[in-house]
């Protein structure tokens, strides 16, 4: 069944679990560096390797970051909470249990406002945000295509083991209908922006700093009880999240249409084919035997500490967008273009450097973006906000017009110097010689009597027809405003 048909017939419910790796200096429970330099198995302590006798101690910064995330998501911060052991055997889990939080998360009951492409706002209910540690990394080698003939095994690097994570779990998200897939991607994008604004993580999806598991279920109608869900693991780009949700909705609808039941299971996402495939079936083998981690003591964040952290929260991305759109007078569409181009901060800096917001937007999303696309680079790689502000100032001062400014810009991009230098070096400054301009104006009027008649008859836009010859005569360096004034003065005498 196609997605479009599936969502006409069924009501999709989604749920999203997002893991974010915190950008602390050290790991969650030990003093090993939280970084990936220095070769495999070099950023470890006895604790990150789970050696006999090793013990965990909680990283204060990780707790601070977790509380900040909780506050930014509007969560209540627990009066007291504990860590718990999640017991399961896996080679990349050094202790064969993961230290996590189970029924006592540090943050709970929040919500996130998510803005869709067309400006629609959706509120996502957040169940909880809790702290835990990452696992090591397996590399599968051997087998048919492997390097070691005949051998099938994995290589494990524990550098990532113990890296602090915060997991954010939503309540079931209902009522999104045909926009379910879009909402899922927009939610994760919003979280990404929040993590960056808080400075708690580099939050790079492509690096695996942010990972999403997507739950999808279908039901006959919004009134019906929730259907059986599947959990698609490790969907790690915004586009994939959208595709995976669409795929699962279509797949589950097909299953239901054929009279079968959706199996509650973990599914794997395949970037290349755009499909999910069946993983482990959820069973009683998933008995994690949670119990309070006896090697760690309860965490009782003081209210003073929480308020201190709340006071340091930066303006969140959505708030900032709303504020700047109002101050700058941008339309919703203009604002969205700016944000999607990743130019919000750049334009803010350009305005701070003295440019008018409209001018800053026009240059960055226009000519600069065009040049960047040509060169397959990011606009901010070509020029600086200060240079763009200087360019705008030259226009404002009447020393350049838009056409000349584009040439100056090309020179700046080519590395010829600052805008004023390029202008001078290339001789592009608007001619101050009014004699030459007057001559050009007089010549144009004399050569186009029909146009002059129209202007006299009140058709002001006909002035434009005289500008071409004037510009030609002055090699483009005429100040268009001044030329227009002269034309009108001469004709209307």
Partner 1 sequence: MTESSEITPEQVQHLASLSRIAMGEDELKALAGDLTTILGNVARVNEVVGDDVPATSHPIPLSNVLRPDVVGQTLTSEQALAAAPAAQDDKFVVPQILGEE
Partner 2 sequence: MSELIRRSALELAAGLKSGEFSSVEVTQAHLDRIHASEDDFGSFITITDDLALETAQAVDAKRSSGEELHPLAGVPVALKDLVVTEGVRTTAGSKMLENWVPPYESTVHTKVKAAGLPVLGKTNLDEFAMGSTTEHSAFGTTRNPWNLDRVPGGSSGGAAAALAGFQAPLSVGTDTGGSVRQPAAFTGTVGVKPTYGSISRFGIIAMASSLDQVGPMGRDVADAAALHELLAGHDPLDSTSLPDEVSGFVEAARRGDLKGKKLGVIRQLRGEGYQDGVIDSFTAALDIAAAAGAEIIEVDCPSISYALDAYYLIMPSEVSSNLARYDGMRYGLRVEPDAGPVTAETVMAATRAAGFGSEVKRRIILGTYALSAGYYDAYYGSAQKVRTLIQRDFARAFEEVDVLVSPTAPTTALEFGAETGSDPMALYLGDVATLPANLAGIPGLSLPSGVADGLPVGLQILAPARRDVALYEVAGPLEAALVSAGGRVLDTLAEGLSAK
Name which position in 120, 123, 139, 319 contacts partner 1 (CB under 8 A).
139
Q: Does 225 bind partner 2 (CB under 8 A)?
A: no
* Lookup: tokens for 367: 């000519």
Please count the CA atoms within 13 angstroms of the CA of 271 that sit on its side-chain side.
8
Q: Does 354 bind partner 2 (CB under 8 A)?
A: no
Name which position in 17, 19, 61, 386 contacts partner 1 (CB under 8 A).
61
User: Interface residues for partner 1 in 76-115 (CB under 8 A)?
Assistant: 80, 82, 89-91
How far is residue 454's CA from residue 450's CA, in Å, rounded to a whole number? 7
Query: Which of 54, 380 has the CB closer to partner 1?
Result: 54
Phi-psi region of 274 (alpha: psi -120 to 50; beta: other; left: phi over 0): left
Name every residue whose Cβ is closer than 8 Å to that of residue 442 and which is 6 or more positions away in sequence: 490
Helix, strand or coil for residue 245? helix
Name every residue whose Cβ is closer than 8 Å to that of residue 471 and which is 6 or more positions away in sequence: 478, 480
60 binds, among partner 1, partner 2, none (CB under 5 to 8 A by kind): partner 1
Query: Which of 51, 327 has the CB closer to partner 2?
Result: 51
How far is residue 141's CA from residue 152's CA, in Å, rounded to a whole number? 6
Query: Which of 117, 286 has the CB closer to partner 2?
Result: 286
Least CB distance to partner 2 at residue 7 (A): 35
Least CB distance to partner 2 at residue 278 (A): 19
Name which position in 46, 125, 208, 354 contacts partner 2 (CB under 8 A).
46
* Lookup: tokens for 277: 């495939």
Q: Does 281 bind partner 1 (CB under 8 A)?
A: no
Stretch that binds partner 2, among 43-51, 214-222, 361-369, 471-479 (CB under 8 A): 43-51
Rg (CA), the chain: 31
184: nearest Cα among 249, 127, 256? 249
Stretch that binds partner 2, among 15-23, 49-57, 333-341, 445-453 (CB under 8 A): 49-57
Name which position in 95, 160, 243, 321 contacts partner 2 (CB under 8 A).
95
How far is residue 326's CA from residue 335's CA, in Å, rounded to a whole number? 10
User: Interface residues for partner 1 in 141-160 (CB under 8 A)?
Assistant: 142, 152-158
How far is residue 487's CA from residue 227's CA, in Å, rounded to a whole number? 75
How far is residue 124's CA from residue 253's CA, in Å, rounded to a whole number? 24
* Lookup: tokens for 99: 């230290």
Name which position in 119, 222, 291, 489 contacts partner 2 (CB under 8 A).
291
How far is residue 202's CA from residue 193's CA, in Å, rounded to a whole number? 10
Q: Does 148 bind partner 2 (CB under 8 A)?
A: no
Residues that bind partner 2 (rule: CB under 8 A) add up to a total of 33
Cα separation values, 396 from 356, 426, 487, Å: 10, 19, 22
DSSP-assigned letter for residue 368 = I
Residues that bind partner 1 (rule: CB under 8 A) add up to a total of 54
Least CB distance to partner 2 at residue 54 (A): 7
How far is residue 25's CA from residue 31's CA, in Å, rounded to a whole number? 9
Q: Does 56 bind partner 2 (CB under 8 A)?
A: yes
CB 410 within 8 A of CB 392: no
Name which position in 35, 87, 424, 448 contacts partner 2 (CB under 8 A).
87
Q: Does 96 bind partner 2 (CB under 8 A)?
A: yes
Number of Cβ atoms within 10 Å of the Cβ of 342 = 11
Q: Does 223 bind partner 2 (CB under 8 A)?
A: no
Stretch that binds partner 2, among 154-162, 398-406, 423-431, 449-457 (CB under 8 A): 154-162
Cα separation values, 412 from 34, 386, 408, Å: 40, 12, 6
Q: Does 154 bind partner 2 (CB under 8 A)?
A: yes
328 binds, among partner 2, partner 1, none (CB under 5 to 8 A by kind): none
Name which position in 38, 91, 146, 177 contacts partner 2 (CB under 8 A).
91
134: nearest Cα among 269, 28, 213, 60? 28
Element of type H or E holding 220 = none
Q: Binding residues for partner 1, per CB under 8 A?
A: 24-26, 30-33, 39-46, 49, 57-63, 80, 82, 89-91, 138-140, 142, 152-158, 268, 279-280, 284-285, 287, 289, 292, 294, 296-301
Q: Binding residues for partner 2, per CB under 8 A?
A: 45-46, 49-58, 85, 87, 89-91, 94-97, 154, 156, 158, 284, 287, 289-291, 294-297
């Amino acid at each position: 069944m196609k997605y479009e048909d599936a969502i006409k017939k069924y009501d999709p419910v989604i749920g999203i679990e997002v893991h974010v790796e915190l950008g602390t200096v050290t790991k969650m429970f030990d003093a090993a560096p939280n970084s990936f330099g220095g070769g495999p198995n070099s950023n470890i302590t006895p604790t990150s390797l789970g050696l006999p006798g090793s013990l965990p101690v909680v990283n204060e910064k990780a707790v601070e970051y977790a509380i900040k995330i909780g506050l930014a998501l509007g969560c209540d911060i627990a009066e007291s909470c504990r860590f718990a052991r999640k017991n399961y055997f896996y080679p990349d889990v050094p202790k064969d249990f993961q230290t996590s939080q189970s029924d006592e998360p540090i943050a709970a009951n929040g919500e996130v406002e998510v803005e869709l492409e067309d400006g629609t706002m959706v509120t996502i209910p957040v169940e909880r945000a809790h702290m835990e540690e990452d696992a090591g990394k397996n590399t599968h080698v051997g087998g048919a295509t492997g390097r070691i003939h005949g051998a099938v095994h994995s290589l494990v690097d524990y550098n990532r083991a113990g890296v602090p994570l915060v997991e954010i779990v939503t309540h079931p998200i209902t009522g999104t209908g045909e926009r379910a897939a879009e909402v899922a991607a927009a939610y994760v994008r919003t979280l990404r922006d929040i993590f960056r604004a808080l400075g708690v993580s580099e939050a790079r999806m492509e690096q695996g700093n942010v990972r999403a598991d997507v739950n999808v279920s279908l039901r006959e109608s919004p009134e019906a009880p929730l259907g059986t869900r599947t959990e698609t693991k490790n969907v790690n780009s915004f586009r994939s999240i959208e595709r995976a949700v669409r795929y699962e909705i279509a797949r589950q609808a097909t299953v239901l249409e054929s009279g079968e039941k959706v199996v509650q299971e973990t599914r794997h996402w395949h970037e290349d084919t755009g499909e999910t495939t069946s993983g482990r079936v959820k069973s009683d083998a998933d008995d994690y035997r949670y119990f309070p981690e006896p090697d760690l003591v309860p965490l009782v964040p003081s209210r003073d500490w929480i308020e201190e952290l709340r006071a340091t929260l930066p303006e969140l991305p959505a708030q900032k967008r709303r504020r700047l759109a109002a101050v700058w007078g941008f339309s919703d569409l203009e604002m969205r273009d700016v944000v999607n181009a990743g130019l919000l901060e750049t334009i803010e800096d350009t305005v701070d450097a003295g440019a008018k917001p409209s001018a800053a937007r026009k240059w960055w999303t226009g000519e600069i973006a065009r040049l960047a696309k040509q060169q397959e680079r990011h606009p901010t790689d070509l020029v600086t906000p200060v240079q763009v502000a200087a360019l705008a100032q030259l226009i404002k001062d009447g020393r350049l017009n838009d056409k000349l400014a584009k040439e100056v810009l090309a020179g700046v991009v080519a590395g010829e110097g600052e805008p004023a230098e390029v202008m001078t070096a290339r001789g592009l400054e608007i001619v101050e010689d009014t004699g030459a301009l007057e001559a050009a104006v007089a010549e144009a009027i004399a050569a186009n009597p029909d146009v002059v008649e129209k202007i006299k008859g009140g058709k002001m836009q006909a002035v434009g027809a005289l500008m071409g010859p004037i510009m030609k005569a002055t090699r483009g360096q005429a100040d268009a405003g001044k030329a227009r004034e002269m034309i009108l003065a001469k004709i209307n005498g």
